[in-house]
Amino acid sequence: MSVNNLLENWSQFRHFHPVDDKPHDPYKWAMSIDLDACTGCNACSVACYAENNLPVVGKEKYAHGQAMHWIRIERYWDEDDREFPDQGAQFLPMMCQQCEAAPCETVCPVAATNHTADGLNSQVYNRCIGSRYCSANCPYKVRYFNWYDYPSDDNVWPAEMNQQLNPDVTVRGKGVMEKCTFCVQRLHAAKGTARSEGRIVRDGEVQTACQQACPASAISFGNLVDPESRVHKQWQAQQVALDKDVQTKDKEEGGSELRGYRIFEELRPYPSVMYLERVRESAV
């Protein structure tokens, strides 16, 4: 943000719906996660540790709620007081939802978290002073703070282990906030390649680490404005629109035959992750 933004183009700078008056072009990264395919196996989470240099905090810090998993698998039970969970559990991978109207962005005092032109909610580590207001205002609580200086911790990346660190991703020091980036380093590389070839990134050309690992291929990721992309088709098939907070499915409770939804739609953060409801067999 600069003074110019304030004086001249404020209305463009912050959109009510970013897609209303300024459609994303040529990229809008988005995801869809099929909860009926997700088995809750945690492969995505480990892959994220491998790709994004996430520190292993150890038992004690985990106990204090200081874990750094950018993507976590949540396990829910049915809430009906049955003796046994005879319909199994429900798993939900939860990571930064890359909201279009992100509650975290407006509150950061130093503008360290911003919206990028391709629809990501970016976190600028260098700029972050660690006020943690973003985390306070995040309804999903998917922002993770560096409570300690993990690079200097003896047990996080001891000798040899540090050679595994991904050179494309910053190793974060203490006092900064971090979160899922949709593997922005991969997106950058793919966009660069595409640009040099005079085209846009093709669907499937770039995968996030979690998507790549997922044994059940429950995660799809891509460019929402590319009509050829799987994500675009999935969102369209589910009639979920990025800039609406009430989708077709919500209007027709029970009878829509759609299963795409976004979490906390009513808070209007306009998340970029669509989940597909888990299906339960009616015959048993």
Partner 1 sequence: MKDIREDIAWAKINKDVLGSLENPRKLYWVILFCAFAAFGVGIGCEVYQYQTGLGVANLNNPHAWGLYISTFIFWIGMSHSGTLLSAILHLMHADWRKPIYRFAEAMTTFSLMTAGLFVMVHIGRLWQFYYSLPYPDERGIWPNFQSPLLWDAMAIFTYLSSSILFLYVGMIPDLAICRDNMHEGWRKKLYTLLSLGWEGTDRQWRNFRVTYLTIACFLIPLAVSVHSIVAADFAMSQQPGWHVTSFPPYFVAGALYSGCSGIITLFIILRYVFKFEEYMTLSILKKIVRLTFAIAMVWTYLNAVEFASVWYSSDQASKDILIQKATGTYAPFWWGMIFCGSIVPLTLAFKRAQTSIPMLFAVSLLLNLGMWLERWMIIAPTFSHGYYPWTWDHDQWPSLVQWGMVFGSFGWFTMLFMVFCKVFPSVSMYEVKEMVYHRSLHLKKSETAEQGAP
Partner 2 sequence: MMNSGFDRRDFLKMLGWGGVAVALNGCGNTSVDDGKETVVSYVETNDYMIPSISTYFNSTCAQCDAGCNITGRIREGRVLKLDGNPDSAINRGKTCGLGQAGVQHHYNPDRVREPLLRKGGQGEAITWEKAYALIAEKLNGVSGEEIAFLTGGVSGHLKVLLGNYLDSFGCKNHFVYEAIAPAVLRAANKKSYGVEMPRFNINKAKVVLSFGADFLGAWVSPVHFSQQYAQFRKGVDGQRGVLIQVESKMTLTGANADRWVVVRPGTEGILALGIINALGIATGDIAAAVKGYDKARVSKETGVPPGQIDKIAALLKLRSPSLVLAGSAAEGYAHGSQNAAAINLLNQVLGNVGKTVEAAAVVPFPQMAPATGNTAALKTLNDGLNAGKYKVLFSYAANPVFTAPGAMKFKDSMAKAGFRVAFAHYLDETAMQADLVLPLDSALEDWGTQVPEYMAEGAQINIQQPLMEKLHANTRGMGDILLALIKLRHTEEYKKFDDYYAYLRTAVLQNKGALGGGVADDDTFWNETLSKGIIKPAGSSHVLSGNATAAGLSLPASAAIDAQYPLQLIPSVSASLRDGRHTNQPWLQESPDPLTTIVWDSWVEIHPKKAAELRIEEGDIVEVTGKNGSIKAQAYLFPGIHPDAISIPLGRGHEALGRYAKGYGVNPFQILDAVFDKETGELALHETRVKVSKTGQRFIVVKDEGVAGGMQMGRKIAVRVSSDKVRLSEEV
DSSP string across 140-204:
T---EE--S-GGG-TTTS-TTGGGGS-TTSPPP-TT-EE---SSHHHHHHHHHHHHHTTSPPPTT
Q: Contacts with partner 2 in 30-59 (CB under 8 A)?
A: 34-37, 39-43, 45-47, 49-51, 56-59
Cβ proximity of 230 and 31 under 8 Å: no
Q: Is 241 in the site for partner 2 (CB under 8 A)?
A: no
Find the binding residues for partner 1 in span 121-150 (CB under 8 A). 127-133, 135-137, 139-141, 143-149
**Does 239 help bind partner 1 (rule: CB under 8 A)?**
no
Nearer to partner 2, 2 or 39 (CB): 39
Q: Of 31, 177, 214, 225, which one interacts with partner 2 (CB under 8 A)?
A: 214
> Total residues at the site for partner 2 (CB under 8 A)?
83
- Residue number, 115 or 172, with CB nearest to partner 2: 172
Residues 139-158 that bind partner 2 (CB under 8 A): 155, 158
Of 12, 10, 200, 211, nearest to 93 (Cα)?
A: 211
**Residue of 20, 80, 160, 197 that binds partner 2 (CB under 8 A):** 160
Nearest of 37, 31, 42, 98 to residue 74 by alpha carbon: 42
Decide which of partner 2, partner 1, none touches 85; Cβ closer than 5 to 8 Å per partner kind.
partner 2
258 Ramachandran zone, left/alpha/beta (phi>0; psi -120 to 50): beta
Contact region with partner 2 (CB under 8 A), list: 2-10, 18-26, 115-123, 251-259: 251-259
Q: Pick from 130, 129, 112: which is nearest to 121 by CA?
A: 112
Nearest-angstrom CA–CA distance, 168 and 269: 29
From 10-18, 108-116, 125-133, 215-223, give the range in contact with partner 2 by CB under 8 A: 215-223
Q: How far is the CB of 102 from partner 1 (least distance, A)?
A: 11
